[in-house]
Structure 1
Amino acid sequence: MTTRENISDTPWAGDDQAWWDWYMSLANNPPIDPVRVEPWPVRPQGGAASDQEVLVSLGTPYPLTGDAVEYFRVNGYVRLPNVIPHAVLASLFLRANRLLDREHGSTNPGRFLALEQVWLTDPLMRGVALSRRLGDIAAQLMGVDSVRLYHDNILSKEPGCGRTPWHRDSHHYPLDTSAVCTSWVPLHPIPASMGPLACLPRGDAADALGTIPLSIEDRSYDDLVEAALRSMGATPDATEYAAGDVSFHAVDCFHTAGPNHTTTSRRVLSSTYYAEGSRVVEQPTVLSGSWTTFLPGVEPGGLALSPLNPVVGWSPST
């Protein structure tokens, strides 16, 4: 695993959006050429499901195949088709837009916007974060009896926003376990020009990246990762997302996401899950952001358990 020894353990002093503004500055992003910006229609076709229909759908089991589980365990990520019905997606899309616009306004060119812990205040977003459909997938992929929620997000890569810096989630989540994974739920189709999630499969290339020391002072870490991938001829999987697709990536999965060259916001819901019984690391770093917001009352080294971390998924045998 990438060394964290040079990363400050001073707690993050700002709010979550300030953390994201800072974090995106660690990616080596040339200015986006306006000539390449193109429109992309993202509003889902057809009618939107009612709130009750959304909750029922998100509570229905997904037919996860053995091949999908094996792919995740070999590669550290998997993309699953038709996880979210289109009418449900339309409802979530409209609600996420409303919440983001209320918090940030409707025009934020070049920024990466985030809303975290929205499940605490919005019933529809609560349905996503506490979804048995998604939580059970996470438990099955990781092969654990049950998973708890770390936090949820609405993530919006605004028009002209650059690439997300290369990272593993183990850089950020202060959890002393490898049984952590994150769902990535696009609220609309995501073509290459909009910046889909790009995951590097486990293997020699990912292992080589693990020897690169982290830096939060500048863009050097992102540069070194990019250079290493070029020298090895390694290419991440940046497959476009169709409406309804959902991906899950493990805590050790190296990933990035491309720039948004379109004139429309790229919007995604995301939740992170960890195995029940996990503990917090002894020395969380500044890369963990406002982690005490997600684990209130939990001390470093303590059991990762608070009222904000309900069990949300089980393996079929439990």
Structure 2
Amino acid sequence: MNPHLSEATAAGAPDDVAPAWDGDNEQWWDWYMSLAGNEAPPELVDVPVTDPGPLPDEDAVVAELAAPYELPVGAAGAFAADGFVVLPRVVSPGAAEVLRRRLTDLLADTTGTSLRAREMMWLEDPLVRAAVLSPRIAGICAALLGHDTLRLYHDSALCKEPGAGRTPWHYDAHHFPLDSHDVISTWMPLQAVPAAMGPLSFARGMDTWRLVEDVPFDKVGTSYDLQVSETLREAGVVVHDEPFALGDVSFHSTLCFHTAGANHTTRPRMVLGATYYADGARVIDHPTMVSGDWRLFVPDTEPGEAAASAHNPIVTGNG
């Protein structure tokens, strides 16, 4: 029995995820983090803090995120082949620090244990709204996906606390209740992320998910995470697990298998994430517990209907 599951969601076989999630999304994260295999944690280490220099005001941060970003040559091809790409200097150190402080305030009342999380902040905070709906981020996502018209699924603040363990191997197509693979997620760390802090790591290859599609999911323990890891190792899949410099932002496909390491540092690892999808996607017929409280993200929408609620605005790039 997994202590984070209700009687309803714990019912059935370990791979039975048909029940709807009946808690909130913070509870979902506590459950999901419990599914990762972890070794005994080492002693926490101190990491240097990057000086961001003079901090810009909010108007300057908004202007920066509205400005075009020149996509490096080959980035779109790398994304199509590998399922992910990490881009440098998408945000300045000062903008990252301003956003980190804002997310710290917004997470002040959250109750998650190893990973504190919050979504849909853009509805209440103008700075997060500017970041999540920014033309710079939308333009990058549109160029990588090859779709001009994207909608927001949700934003997310993810704060992995000192000593928190791994995030299990997964791919987002298993999570998002959308009938499209034209879905992309961003991961914007708001401090440098050295190896000891647990950077997001990617299994290289857009079709790598096919190697593990028959691995049975385990909603009560760590067998899925461990078996996926072993399968990828035996197949010789290259795992990109490089540190993130301050200002780096990653973009990954809904088909990209990824994980994140444990935070073995004394500093919280704060990330602003968001997910976007090509306009026209619909909610699948039978969302499962793995989708969490998806109605928070796509309200007033039933399974089978277009995912086009007022909480899923179209985001526009800057060409």
Contact 1:205 1:232 in 2 (8 A): no
User: Residue in 2 aligned with 1:149?
Assistant: 152
Counterpart of 2:144 in 1: which secondary structure? Answer: helix
Match among 298, 314, 319 for residue 311 of structure 1: 314
Q: Distance in 1 between matches of 2:101 and 2:181?
A: 34
TM-score, reference length from structure 2:
0.91
String of CA shifts for 1:277-313, please: whole Å, max 9, x gaps: 1111111110000100000011101100100111113
Contact 2:208 2:257 in 1 (8 A): no
Q: Does 2:200 correspond to 1:197?
A: yes
Q: CA deviation at 1:40?
A: 1.5
Match among 15, 22, 32 for residue 41 of structure 2: 32
Contact 2:80 2:206 in 1 (8 A): no
Match among 77, 86, 99 for residue 79 of structure 1: 86
Percent of residue pairs identical: 43
User: Residue in 2 aligned with 1:118?
Assistant: 121
User: Residue in 1 aligned with 2:246?
Assistant: 243
Which residue identity does 2:45 align to in structure 1?
E
Q: Distance in 1 between matches of 2:224 and 2:288?
A: 16
Residues 298, 86 of structure 1: alpha-carbon distance in 2 compared, 3 angstrom cutoff: same
User: Residue in 2 aligned with 1:12?
Assistant: 21
String of CA shifts for 1:66-117, please: whole Å, max 9, x gaps: 41011001100000001001221121111112222x2138xx8x61110111
Match among 51, 63, 67 for residue 56 of structure 1: 63
Q: Distance in 1 between matches of 2:188 and 2:317?
A: 20
Q: CA deviation at 1:43?
A: 5.5
Q: CA deviation at 1:44?
A: 4.1
Q: Distance in 1 between matches of 2:268 and 2:101?
A: 13
Which residue identity does 2:24 align to in structure 1?
D
Counterpart of 1:103 in 2: which secondary structure? Answer: coil
String of CA shifts for 1:119-142, please: whole Å, max 9, x gaps: 111111111111111011111100
Q: CA deviation at 1:28?
A: 1.0
Counterpart of 1:270 in 2: which secondary structure? Answer: strand
Q: Distance in 2 between matches of 1:205 and 1:136?
A: 26
User: Residue in 2 aligned with 1:98?
Assistant: 105
Q: Distance in 2 between matches of 1:301 and 1:64?
A: 35
Which residue identity does 2:41 align to in structure 1?
I
User: Residue in 2 aligned with 1:68?
Assistant: 75
- Unaligned stretches of 5+ residues in structure 2: 1-13
Contact 2:211 2:232 in 1 (8 A): no
Contact 1:144 1:275 in 2 (8 A): yes
Q: CA deviation at 1:212?
A: 1.6
- Unaligned stretches of 5+ residues in structure 1: none
Q: CA deviation at 1:179?
A: 0.3
Contact 2:136 2:318 in 1 (8 A): no
Q: Distance in 1 between matches of 2:318 and 2:95?
A: 24
Contact 1:155 1:268 in 2 (8 A): yes
Contact 2:134 2:317 in 1 (8 A): no
Aligned alpha-carbon RMSD (Å): 1.8
Q: Does 2:265 correspond to 1:262?
A: yes
Q: Distance in 2 between matches of 1:133 and 1:242?
A: 19
Residues 203, 278 of structure 1: alpha-carbon distance in 2 compared, 3 angstrom cutoff: closer
